[in-house]
């Protein structure tokens, strides 16, 4: 991240310089130079081990950014009406979710607040039912609601009911007149979402994608709002 402070007790520039020196030694084949550089790098890392987690975090962030960029169109293109906010928003927030996920239910209020406050934000929901048969049944019904142009009220209603039990799902479908989606259409969309989640190395629900960043879990309103602001500035977590 461009505005991060240098690591305590040292600087990234010094660490990077050491690594560059080691690289030069390797390239020119100078045994003494390589040994000296290697010793310097080792000594620096032993004295300043705090740079290692930061370096690893930056590497992971860069890799995540590359995955998002390579798959952005597929990630941000919603299924039918499974989106809200500005149609041509300047920032798109994508949520991979499961109706049986407590943390997804908790995050729904954060997403709703962001939509109300930010007229330029677009939110796309991707069904990713990973918690069993009730989750998958709810996902299929939700896709049907999206196809019928009733995604948002169905979505909020099912979350408000608690767990997506067969009874809760049947009640929500009846309330909004949701007809089942064709099996092939549901299978194709869910298969696509599973593949995208796997490509992004998502570890569970909810998983959010904002700009070039991937957030795992219920990270909260402030983290998502900050990521939206960073994406709007054209920033990236890739370092």
- 91-97 and 121-127: which strand pairing? parallel
Residue 62 lies in a domain: no
More confident: 150 or 52: 150
My answer on whether 24 and 80 are in the same domain is no
- pLDDT tier at 21, thresholds 50, 70, 90: very low
Residue 189 contacts residue 151 (beta carbons within 8 Å): no
Residue 9: the pLDDT is 38
Residue 55 lies in a domain: no
My answer on whether 35 and 130 are in the same domain is no
CATH code of 145's domain: 3.40.30.10
- pLDDT tier at 136, thresholds 50, 70, 90: very high
My answer on whether 145 and 224 are in the same domain is yes
Residue 204 contacts residue 217 (beta carbons within 8 Å): yes
Residue pointed to by tokens 């019928």: 148
Residue 146 lies in a domain: yes
Residues 11-20 have a mean pLDDT of 43
Residue 139 contacts residue 129 (beta carbons within 8 Å): yes
My answer on whether 164 and 91 are in the same domain is yes
Give the H/E segment covering residue 151: helix 151-160
My answer on whether 107 and 26 are in the same domain is no
Residue 239 lies in a domain: no
How far apart, in Å, do the first and last CA atoms of the chain sit? 5
Express each pLDDT in 39-93 by its tens digit: 777 787 677 677 657 766 665 667 768 989 999 999 999 999 999 999 999 999 9
User: Using the 8-state DSSP alphabet, how is residue 127 labeled?
Assistant: E
Residues 123-127 have a mean pLDDT of 98
Gap between the Cα atoms of 54 and 115, Å rounded: 32
Residue 176: the pLDDT is 96
Residue 88 lies in a domain: yes
Lowest model confidence (mean pLDDT) among 24-28, 54-58, 125-129: 24-28
Residue 61 contacts residue 237 (beta carbons within 8 Å): yes
Residues 89-99 have a mean pLDDT of 98
Residue 60: the pLDDT is 60
Gap between the Cα atoms of 12 and 5, Å rounded: 10
Gap between the Cα atoms of 38 and 32, Å rounded: 10
My answer on whether 1 and 79 are in the same domain is no
Owning domain of residue 29 = 1-49
Residue 132 lies in a domain: yes
My answer on whether 141 and 223 are in the same domain is yes
My answer on whether 43 and 87 are in the same domain is no
User: Using the 8-state DSSP alphabet, how is residue 204 labeled?
Assistant: S
Omega before 31 cis (within 30°)?
A: no
My answer on whether 197 and 151 are in the same domain is yes
Tokens of 80: 């039918």
Residue 180 lies in a domain: yes
Predicted confidence (pLDDT) at residue 13 exceeds the cutoff of 50: no
Split into its structural domains, the chain has a count of 2
């Amino acid at each position: 991240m461009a505005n991060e402070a240098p690591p305590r007790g040292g600087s990234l520039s010094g660490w990077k310089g050491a690594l560059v020196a080691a690289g030069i030694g390797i390239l020119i084949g100078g045994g003494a130079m390589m040994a000296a550089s290697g010793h310097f790098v080792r000594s620096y890392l032993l004295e300043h081990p705090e740079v290692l987690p930061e370096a690893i975090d930056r590497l992971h962030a860069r890799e995540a950014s590359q995955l998002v960029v390579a798959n952005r169109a597929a990630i941000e293109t919603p299924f039918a009406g499974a989106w809200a906010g500005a149609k041509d928003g300047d920032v798109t927030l994508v949520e991979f979710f499961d109706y049986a996920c407590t943390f997804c239910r908790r995050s729904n209020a954060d997403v709703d607040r962001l939509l109300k406050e930010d007229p330029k934000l677009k939110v796309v929901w991707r069904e990713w039912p990973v918690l069993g048969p009730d989750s998958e049944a709810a996902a299929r019904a939700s896709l049907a609601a999206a196809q019928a142009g009733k995604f948002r009220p169905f979505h909020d209603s099912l979350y408000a009911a608690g767990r997506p039990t067969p009874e809760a799902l049947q009640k929500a479908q009846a309330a909004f007149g949701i007809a089942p989606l064709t099996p092939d259409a549901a299978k194709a969309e869910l298969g696509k979402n599973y593949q995208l989640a796997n490509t992004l190395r998502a570890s569970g629900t909810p998983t959010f994608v904002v700009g070039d960043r991937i957030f795992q879990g219920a990270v909260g309103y402030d983290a998502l709002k900050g990521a939206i602001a960073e994406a709007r500035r054209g920033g990236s977590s890739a370092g």
